[in-house]
Amino acid sequence: MDQEKAYFISDLHLGAQWIADNRAHELAIAEWIRSLAGKASALYILGDAIDYWYEYRTVVPRGFVRFFAAIASLTDAGTPVYWLKGNHDIWIFDYLPREIGVKVIDGPLHTRILGHTFYLEHGDLSGEPRPSYRRMQRIFRNPTAQRLFAAIHPRWTVGFAHRWSSHSRRNGKEASDRLSDNDQLITFAKNYLAMHPDTEYFVFGHRHVVVDNDIAPGCRLVILGEGFRLMTYGVFDGNSFEIHKIKQH
């Protein structure tokens, strides 16, 4: 039955300056989310849904109305939506959980889905070996640094964040759709599996490629791709995990 399927998506990067038509992109994502009504047991968003998001105490950032409305239509109907923070939407606090009903997870989620054990995470914490990156993430998560950042007027912080994102994308290395045995994610998953042998699926985003690796008997590692060019997402029906594409008009 359709309602016995869980859906997974990551790296939509809504609002990114390097997406040619942000309105069409948001509409396509919102339409796909609305299509899950009545057939999804849950939706898991594995980070970087928005290219930049910072919640202020009394001010709502501009945009993403159709995306948020589509999610709210699911949660209002009783379908749980889990949003695992990525490195671009790290500054979700209490507004989105309160207003649209998402369950926000800061870090990994080890959980049971349709009778099977999953480890879910954006992928930057487990799969990023650079010490400089880890230091930056600690700063971004530091409450004092967050308060100082919030004190700067958005006319400077928003533009700075989008320029950073564009620069990072231009200078990023092309990720491979095949993971080597010494890849950081493979190493992490095998070490984690040794301590949690019941884990059957590791699901990540972040790298913008589709990967499906068997890492041990009865255990798979999946990278979901992304939702701005490939337009891919994952579906689990209790027996198999498959990667599908969002149909675009």
User: Regarding predicted confidence, which is higher, 45 or 58?
Assistant: 45
Give yes or no for residue 114 having a pLDDT over 90.
yes
Residue 1: pLDDT band with limits 50, 70, 90: very low
Describe the strand order of the beta sheet including 201-204 as a list of residue ranges. 109-113, 116-120, 201-204, 219-224, 210-216
Each residue's pLDDT tens digit, 7-30: 999 999 999 989 999 999 999 999
CA-CA distances (angstroms) from residue 4 to 45, 78, 94, 104, 115? 18, 14, 29, 22, 11
Per-position b or e across 227-248, b if 16+ CB within 10 A of its CB: bbebbbbbebeeeebebeebee
Each residue's pLDDT tens digit, 164-207: 555 555 455 555 667 888 899 999 999 999 999 999 999 999 99
Report the distance separating Cα 66 and Cα 49, nearest Å: 13
Rounded to the nearest integer, the mean pLDDT of the chain is: 87
| % the chain with pLDDT above 70 | 79
Each residue's pLDDT tens digit, 136-170: 666 666 677 667 666 666 666 666 555 555 555 54
Tokens of 105: 């997870």
Tokens of 241: 């995990």
Other Cβ atoms less than 10 A from the Cβ of 119: the count is 22
SS3 content of the chain, % helix, strand, coil (to 5): 35, 25, 40
